[in-house]
Chains A and B, each alone.
Chain A
Amino acid sequence: MNQRHRILAASATLAVAALSLTACTGGSSTSSSSDHKLVVAVGTAPVSLDTLKAATGVPGTWFETPAYAAVLTKDASGAVQPGLAESWKYVGDGNTDFEFTLRDGLTFADGTPMDAAAVAASLTYFTATTTGPSKAYFAAMTFTAVDTKTVHITTTVPNPIIPDLLTVGYLGAAPISAAGIADESSRAGQTFGAGQYVLDAKQTVSNDHYVYVPNTKYWDQKAIAYTEIDVRVIPNPDQQVQALKSGQVDAIVGDPSIGGTVSGDGLQEISEPSTVYNFYLMDREGKVVPALASEQVRQALNYAVDRDSITKAALGNYGSATDQTAIDAGAASGYDKSLESTYSYDPAKAKSLLAAAGYGGGFSMPFTYLGYSPTDTKIAQAVASELAAVGVTMNLKSEPDFGSWVNDLVSGQYAGTLLTGDGSQMYINAQFGFTQGAVMNQYGVVNADVNSAFQKLASSTPDQIGPAAQALNSVIVTQALALPIASSDSIVIFNSKKVKPYFLGTTGELAPIESWSVN
């Protein structure tokens, strides 16, 4: 070996040695392959693993549902099925009392027994303390352990969808152990549930990847399909696609920019309408923008936007223009096809309505939106442009982060905001956007027609829910309480050779990742 070769060999050895010296610790985001390991990618890390603070909806719940089992579950058709509870029923009429009965021998992942008292304590704690999106849906409920297996729910606001709320998607009915309830700070980075899996803290690196391993104390060991679930944070959609194509991940949540463009061996895509892009017109009593107190003005805004063009530009084939805040997801959504022609694009009519309301010269209204979302930005800017054509100036505040947007929302300075709403359940839809305590009703506007229709819906029997939901939807649309733009699809792209994700019937809700079947 001559000197040059010796130098080369020494350099190479040095390089490997130097790298080795620094590589003895650190978390791993990939481990050796296994037949039944599920790896999924999401765009953003969870704000917290605490179910009291976590986001609902996909893919936010991918960090929660593996480790937290719920009182009830849903089957592939979207019908409610037993979970931790083996039976459930409304007690009496009026949707104010409800009971469920737990299975025998349940335990939390930490080994502590799960009886009715523990579940009631968890539900009570969640309801009293949560700051998550589900807060309003549980707020009126109280929980009592009747005996060791039975929990009784009483709600001061009649509730026709308690079985739905007890499934895992809303996170409230996914019991937390006593240790978890006692240790709020630890819940941010650890799991304290009774789900099929538990978070493996040793393999997890916060904000990068979260590894879940089977919970040996889960009540139904046969249901545990994977030896490991790895939820990785890959911020950029293009990087997610690269990881999917190269076989590093098994499934990703797509968006309209990549939907339909990903092809490869075994790669498939599924999509279903799930949410609606709405401008929530919060200031409906005109505290910030007096013009918005006028129903004619709000209707004018709805006539002024060309929803078809905006939808095509922002969502491509993964959205449909809509005049309503509901999606076509079954009777409980309140969706009414006949309402779709309520506000056909008609700028001339918009101008005449504005003039009739005394705002023929136009007006300005401040709106805030989540500027870090490309789709939100496209829609917000397109709508602002079209409103300008009829003399209405929408002063948009683009917020770079969620916290700033929340600050705007509660500041009392903005007339409204753009946000996607869950349009699959009118009871949820109304409590999110239009009833007095709704989070998207920051000015606490009381609308007698909304209240009346909501009360009827709330106390409906199952066969009355459809008509009651449609009646409430009709109030929202005809009084133009919002400016809906488009329903938007949830998109999942996956390796069909390894997993089979699925939507729950026509609800637009994606099945929890731990329930995806192994191929």
Chain B
Amino acid sequence: MLRLVARRLLLSIPLLIVVTAITFFLQSLIPGDPARSLLGPTASPQQYDALRQALHLDQPILVQYWDYIVNLLHGDLGQSIFTGEDVASTLATRLPVSLSLIIGGTVVALVVGILLGVLSATRGRILGRFIDIFSLVGGALPNFWVGLVLASIFAVTLSLLPATGYVSFDDSPTEWAQSLILPVIALSLAGVATIAKVVRDGVSTAMGQDFVRTLRAAGVPRRVLIWKHALRNSSVSLVTVVGVIFVASLSGTVLVETVFVLPGLGSLAVTATSRQDIPVIQGVALTFAVITIVVNLLVDVSYGLLNPKVRA
């Protein structure tokens, strides 16, 4: 197992380099000029040149990238071109918001998806059909649209929950939970549908297999058969799907955070990209890449725990 983890970690190094390179060179293709955005049209040519020099924008793109990598290896993610804040500090402020949203969305998707999946597999055709339809619709509805509808109903019409904004847990646990309910639902909907479908298929298949018939003949109660044995049968595919949902939620946060005006990494990515705040764009991309690597590693470790053959 340790060898597996070590191998995965080693493989992640070139992956991170590739991610930083792709991000760096792609953002250089975005039209615009951060120095112009910062200075406006009244700046003299001397002021413009001085700022570009200060920001190293006058350097060839390869030199800029090399400087970035060297600084990165020294633990320096740079400063925002616009706010002057340390990128690491900015990321540290916003990461908890995004993780609250992503973990919340994944957990909700897992809990609700398993419940619906098991009920669908064990409670007859009508519920099964409903799950099928829900899977199709839930997967097809854009999360930002779901978010807007939820905000319109629960925030504006019913005044039950806030339409926008985030409250940190430190300030008020209750308001923190309230500020996350609608975004988490919007983000988790597609995941609920996917997990429900996977669990329904897995449990249905397992319930028809010989080992379940044998256990049933031995007098094992039905609920134990379902929740312990049949559900375990779909655990490997479930872990895979949860990993995929978690990683997909990273991109989902971009829109959901924008809709609910949450100060997370997704909304930061939108602002930084629109302004060509290069150090911040790089920082967000790097953070997303690291999270993706960690999640994939956890999925691989889970495989090992669930299936001894993988460990070997």
| Mutual binders A and B | yes
Contacts of B42 in A (CB 8 A): 130-133, 135-136, 439
A246 & B162 in contact (Cβ 8 Å cutoff): yes
B245 at interface by CB-CB < 8 Å: no
B32 & A401 in contact (Cβ 8 Å cutoff): yes
A37 at interface by CB-CB < 8 Å: no
Contacts of A409 in B (CB 8 A): 41
A207–B43 Cα distance when bound, in Å, is: 24
A232 & B261 in contact (Cβ 8 Å cutoff): yes
B211 at interface by CB-CB < 8 Å: no
Contacts of B274 in A (CB 8 A): 401
A15 & B111 in contact (Cβ 8 Å cutoff): yes
Chain A interface size, under 10 / 10 to 19 / 20 to 34 / 35 or more? 35 or more
Contacts of A317 in B (CB 8 A): none
Contacts of B148 in A (CB 8 A): 238
A31–B165 Cα distance when bound, in Å, is: 10
For the complex formed, measure the closest distance between the CB of A261 and the CB atoms of chain B, giving whole angstroms: 13
A442–B43 Cα distance when bound, in Å, is: 12
A7 at interface by CB-CB < 8 Å: yes
Contacts of B92 in A (CB 8 A): 25
Q: Give the nearest-CB partner of A242 in chain B.
A: B163
B39 at interface by CB-CB < 8 Å: yes
Evaluate whether A19 and B163 lie within 8 angstroms (CB atoms) in the complex, with A26-B96, A27-B93, A242-B156 already known: no
Please pick, from A8, A22, A402, the residue contacting B99 in the complex, using a CB distance under 8 A.
A22
Please pick, from B99, B108, B223, B261, the residue contacting A29 in the complex, using a CB distance under 8 A.
B261
For the complex formed, measure the closest distance between the CB of B194 and the CB atoms of chain A, giving whole angstroms: 17
Evaluate whether A403 and B36 lie within 8 angstroms (CB atoms) in the complex, with A29-B165, A246-B155 already known: yes
For the complex formed, measure the closest distance between the CB of A44 and the CB atoms of chain B, giving whole angstroms: 9
B residues 116-162 near A (Cβ < 8 Å) are: 148, 151-152, 155-156, 159, 162
A242 & B82 in contact (Cβ 8 Å cutoff): no
Evaluate whether A23 and B169 lie within 8 angstroms (CB atoms) in the complex, with A205-B94, A246-B159, A404-B31 already known: yes
Evaluate whether A24 and B103 lie within 8 angstroms (CB atoms) in the complex, with A3-B223, A186-B84 already known: no
Contacts of A2 in B (CB 8 A): 223
Chain B interface size, under 10 / 10 to 19 / 20 to 34 / 35 or more? 35 or more
Contacts of A12 in B (CB 8 A): 111
A290 at interface by CB-CB < 8 Å: no
Contacts of B84 in A (CB 8 A): 185-186, 188-189
B residues 164-223 near A (Cβ < 8 Å) are: 164-173, 175-177, 179-180, 223
Please pick, from A31, A406, A439, the residue contacting B37 in the complex, using a CB distance under 8 A.
A406
A8–B110 Cα distance when bound, in Å, is: 12
Evaluate whether A24 and B170 lie within 8 angstroms (CB atoms) in the complex, with A401-B37, A406-B37 already known: yes
A247–B156 Cα distance when bound, in Å, is: 9
B100 at interface by CB-CB < 8 Å: yes
For the complex formed, measure the closest distance between the CB of B91 and the CB atoms of chain A, giving whole angstroms: 11
For the complex formed, measure the closest distance between the CB of A187 and the CB atoms of chain B, giving whole angstroms: 8
A residues 146-202 near B (Cβ < 8 Å) are: 185-186, 188-189
Q: Give the nearest-CB partner of A134 in chain B.
A: B42
Stretch with Cβ within 8 A of B (4 or more), from A45-53, A451-459, A499-507, A510-518? A45-53
Please pick, from A3, A31, A45, A442, the residue contacting B167 in the complex, using a CB distance under 8 A.
A31
Contacts of B275 in A (CB 8 A): 47, 401, 403
A491–B41 Cα distance when bound, in Å, is: 26
The interface centre, meaning the residue of A28, A32, A133, A399 with most chain B CB atoms within 10 A of its CB, is: A28
B263 & A27 in contact (Cβ 8 Å cutoff): yes
A14 at interface by CB-CB < 8 Å: yes
Evaluate whether A207 and B271 lie within 8 angstroms (CB atoms) in the complex, with A26-B96, A404-B31 already known: yes
A188–B175 Cα distance when bound, in Å, is: 30
Please pick, from A25, A30, A185, A407, the residue contacting B165 in the complex, using a CB distance under 8 A.
A30
B171 & A32 in contact (Cβ 8 Å cutoff): yes
A519 at interface by CB-CB < 8 Å: no
B227 at interface by CB-CB < 8 Å: yes
Please pick, from A131, A205, A246, A401, the residue contacting B47 in the complex, using a CB distance under 8 A.
A131
B104 & A3 in contact (Cβ 8 Å cutoff): no
A47–B276 Cα distance when bound, in Å, is: 12
Per-residue 0/1 for B237-265: is the Cβ within 8 Å of any A Cβ (1 yes, 0 no)? Answer: 00000000000000000000011011100
For the complex formed, measure the closest distance between the CB of A453 and the CB atoms of chain B, giving whole angstroms: 23
Please pick, from A20, A208, A242, A247, the residue contacting B263 in the complex, using a CB distance under 8 A.
A208
B residues 33-52 near A (Cβ < 8 Å) are: 33-43, 47
Contacts of B95 in A (CB 8 A): 26
A residues 279-304 near B (Cβ < 8 Å) are: none
A222 at interface by CB-CB < 8 Å: no
Contacts of B82 in A (CB 8 A): 47-48, 188
A142 at interface by CB-CB < 8 Å: no
B41 & A410 in contact (Cβ 8 Å cutoff): yes
Per-residue 0/1 for A109-143: is the Cβ within 8 Å of any B Cβ (1 yes, 0 no)? Answer: 00000000000000000000011110110000000
Contacts of B108 in A (CB 8 A): 15
A232 & B104 in contact (Cβ 8 Å cutoff): no
**Can you pick out 13 interface pairs between chain A and chain B where the beta carbons lie within 8 Å of each other?**
A23-B168, A24-B168, A26-B168, A27-B263, A29-B167, A48-B83, A207-B271, A236-B258, A245-B163, A248-B165, A403-B33, A404-B36, A406-B37
The 4 closest A-B pairs by CB, nearest first: A23-B169, A403-B37, A208-B263, A26-B96
Interface of B with A (CB < 8 Å)? Answer: 31-43, 47, 79-80, 82-85, 90, 92-97, 99-100, 103-104, 107-108, 110-111, 114-115, 148, 151-152, 155-156, 159, 162-173, 175-177, 179-180, 223-224, 227, 258-259, 261-263, 267-268, 271, 274-276
